[in-house]
């Protein structure tokens, strides 16, 4: 058979040159389109739901498999992040009370215009630019992990992939919580609940990811990293944006 993707002559189920499936050489059908969609989302071997489920059960195992080049078992981190962000946008569109806005913290030690602008920036990033917001966090979060756990020799790209998995999982957990909370309480999820859920999962996931070294070496480092992530997400980033580019 001649591969229609790369013109390579081959026998078997997949083209050895570009890995396109032999099935893809036939004409596109409805079955292909629906099948591909269902496969990406539900595939039991490496689909999104399977990856999400494993990131709940054993987050360290999923990320270490990917880092250690077992890359076919789970949805890859970039795809995982994009699917979770799409689910977030859809779920916010369906269940969020738009008139209530996105809940945010007020910092008593800051003037009210700065607080107001931070609130608006948080809302704009969450609702209008969720992917950009995700990327900013994912570029910054690995930095403290890199320095605190330097001894374990994970590089920045490996830590970014890890954070993509954990961040995406937190996004989905928040949407699940919102589906229960918002209709019952009649209001949007408060920031305290979102932060609590995110902190618990991140703590658990980092404990599962960093298995090497003694407990007394790991725990304080994980706590320092967590404090940095929370401070960056809730304070540093919105404060810098509000300070340099006030929205009012």
* Interacting residues with Zn ion (CB under 5 A): 3, 5-6, 8, 15, 17-18, 20
- State the minimum distance, in angstroms, from the CB of residue 71 to Zn ion: 19
- State the minimum distance, in angstroms, from the CB of residue 16 to Zn ion: 8
How many CB atoms are closer than 10 A to CB 55? 26
- State the minimum distance, in angstroms, from the CB of residue 193 to Zn ion: 49
- State the minimum distance, in angstroms, from the CB of residue 229 to Zn ion: 42
Residue placing its CB nearer to Zn ion in the complex, 8 or 228: 8
Closest CA to 107 of 231, 223, 225: 231
Residue placing its CB nearer to Zn ion in the complex, 17 or 155: 17
Residue placing its CB nearer to Zn ion in the complex, 10 or 204: 10
Which residues does 69 contact at the CB level (< 8 Å), separation at least 6? none
Helix (H) or strand (E) holding 63: helix 59-67
Give how far Cα 121 sits from Cα of 103, 140, 233, Å. Answer: 12, 18, 12
Residue placing its CB nearer to Zn ion in the complex, 12 or 186: 12
- State the minimum distance, in angstroms, from the CB of residue 34 to Zn ion: 24
**What are the φ/ψ torsions at residue 112 (nearest 5 degrees)?**
-65, -30
Residue placing its CB nearer to Zn ion in the complex, 6 or 227: 6
Q: What is the DSSP string of 92-154?
A: HHHH--GGG-------TTS-HHHHHHHHHHHHHHHHT-HHHHHHHHHHHTHHHHHHHTGGG--
């Amino acid at each position: 058979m001649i591969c229609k993707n790369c013109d390579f002559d081959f026998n078997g189920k997949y083209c050895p040159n570009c890995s396109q499936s032999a099935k893809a050489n036939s004409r596109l059908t409805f079955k292909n389109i629906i099948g591909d969609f269902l496969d990406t989302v539900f595939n039991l071997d490496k689909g999104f739901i399977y990856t999400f489920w494993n990131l709940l059960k054993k987050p360290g195992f999923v990320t270490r498999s990917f880092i250690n080049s077992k890359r076919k078992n789970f949805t890859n981190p970039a795809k995982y992040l994009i699917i979770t962000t799409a689910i977030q946008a859809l779920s916010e569109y369906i269940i969020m009370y738009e008139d209530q806005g996105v809940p945010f913290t007020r910092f008593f030690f800051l003037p009210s215009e700065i607080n107001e602008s931070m609130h608006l920036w948080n809302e704009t990033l969450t609702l209008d630019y969720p992917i950009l917001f995700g990327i900013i966090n994912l570029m910054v979060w690995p930095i403290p992990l890199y320095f605190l756990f330097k001894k374990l020799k994970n590089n920045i790209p490996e830590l970014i992939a890890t954070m993509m998995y954990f961040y995406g999982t937190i996004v989905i957990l928040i949407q699940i919580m919102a589906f229960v909370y918002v209709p019952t309480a009649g209001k949007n999820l408060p920031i305290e609940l979102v932060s609590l859920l995110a902190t618990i999962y991140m703590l658990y996931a980092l404990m599962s990811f960093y298995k090497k070294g003694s407990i007394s070496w790991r725990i304080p480092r994980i706590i320092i990293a967590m404090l940095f992530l929370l401070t960056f997400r809730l304070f540093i980033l919105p404060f810098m944006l509000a300070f340099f580019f006030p929205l009012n």
